[in-house]
């Protein structure tokens, strides 16, 4: 794939972060690079959410059924004495080939603390060892288990919001479609941060950002190839393939203007509106992929976190 379009500029603070954090920039990833990419997330600070925001942490297992495996979950809940609180069911990033349930918990703990929620982070299986539909099945298992009454009593499982970042955002969108298509109860909403929605990587923004930013179309094609394996792509894998986006709960999407996923995110929101649904879309000028994780201190990163809080508050008040 060649760079065919002039790329938009990066925000100056984000550009400096990209130059300094070459350790977490993933472009031109080949299949043999997957172990190296996995190692980039090996320094997760798992104690920060409990230390900084006062959450109690408990590790539980969502039991599978009908031959499906159990799914480990990391639960961050307010201390005892609080009543049941809304629950953010979180799906980490990592291109569906890397990452753990501990990844980005700081980001989610801050969001949950601001809104008054708990967090349930799902340890879904990774490709290529476990290709589609393994990750989808794991999240469906976790969601069904939470709804079954087996969850910790501090979780209000009638008010669950699916939250995902990058690959986890795309997976959350696919789970929402799978739940809708099966007639199962839907989450109250879906909060998708720079979601990885389309396996085709053929948009203008994908072409513009080849070799640039923190995740490009070459890395994206490798990741999708590992995840799909020999499976025929469907909307339950690559959410952008859905022909009908009606019947979804309210959706929040944010994305950077200088990243691979910009156009697929804009298109997804536009199609939700066209099909009569609710979506809130933010495109942050000069933002690279996952810019607020890359540079949480940047002014734009701090600005980007506020609309998520406001949207969640409005959503949960209605729920």
Is 29 in contact with 218 (CB distance < 8 Å)?
yes
pLDDT of residue 3: 44
pLDDT of residue 183: 97
pLDDT of residue 48: 63
Q: How many CB atoms lie within 10 A of CB 125?
A: 16
pLDDT of residue 47: 54
pLDDT of residue 78: 86
What is the homologous superfamily of the domain 12-318 according to CATH? Alpha/Beta hydrolase fold, catalytic domain (3.40.50.1820)
pLDDT of residue 209: 96
Please tell me the pTM assigned to this model. Answer: 0.95
Query: What is the spatial distance between Cα 198 and Cα 220, in angstroms, rounded to a whole number?
Result: 9
Name the E strands within the chain.
56-62, 71-77, 85-91, 118-122, 155-165, 189-193, 251-256, 279-284
Query: What is the spatial distance between Cα 20 and Cα 25, in angstroms, rounded to a whole number?
Result: 10
- Which of the residues in the chain have pLDDT under 70? 1-4, 23-24, 41-52, 81
Query: What is the spatial distance between Cα 211 and Cα 217, in angstroms, rounded to a whole number?
Result: 8
pLDDT of residue 50: 64
Write the pLDDT tens digit of every residue in 47-85. Answer: 566 665 789 999 999 998 888 899 999 999 988 767 799
Domain locations in the chain as residue ranges: 12-318
């Amino acid at each position: 794939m060649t760079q065919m379009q002039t790329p938009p500029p990066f925000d100056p603070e984000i550009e400096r972060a990209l130059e300094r954090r070459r350790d977490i920039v993933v472009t031109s990833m080949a299949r043999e690079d997957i172990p190296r990419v996995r190692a980039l997330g090996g320094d997760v600070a798992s104690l920060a959410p409990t230390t900084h925001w006062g959450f109690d942490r408990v590790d539980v297992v969502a039991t599978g059924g009908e031959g499906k495996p159990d799914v480990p979950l990391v639960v961050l809940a307010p201390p005892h004495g609080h009543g049941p609180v809304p629950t953010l069911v979180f799906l980490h990033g990592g291109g569906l080939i890397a990452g753990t349930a501990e990844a980005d918990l700081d980001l989610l703990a801050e969001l949950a603390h601001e809104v008054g929620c708990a967090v349930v982070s799902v340890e879904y299986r990774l490709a290529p060892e476990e290709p589609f539909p393994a990750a989808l099945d794991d999240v469906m298992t976790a969601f069904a288990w939470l709804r079954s009454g087996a969850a910790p009593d501090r979780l209000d499982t009638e008010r669950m919001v699916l939250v995902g970042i990058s690959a986890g955002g795309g997976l959350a969108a696919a789970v929402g479609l799978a739940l809708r298509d099966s007639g199962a109860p839907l989450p109250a909403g879906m909060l998708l941060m720079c979601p990885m929605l389309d396996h085709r990587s053929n948009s203008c923004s994908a072409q513009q950002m080849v070799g640039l930013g923190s995740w490009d179309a070459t890395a994206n094609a490798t990741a999708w190839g590992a995840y799909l394996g020999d499976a025929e792509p469907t909307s339950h894998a690559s959410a952008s393939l859905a022909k009908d986006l009606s019947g979804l709960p309210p959706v929040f999407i944010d994305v950077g203007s200088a990243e691979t996923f910009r156009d697929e995110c804009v298109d997804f929101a536009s199609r939700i509106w066209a099909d009569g649904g609710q979506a809130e879309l933010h495109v942050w000028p000069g933002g690279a992929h996952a810019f607020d994780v890359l540079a949480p201190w940047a002014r734009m990163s701090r600005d980007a976190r506020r609309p998520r809080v406001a949207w969640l508050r409005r959503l949960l008040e209605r729920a």
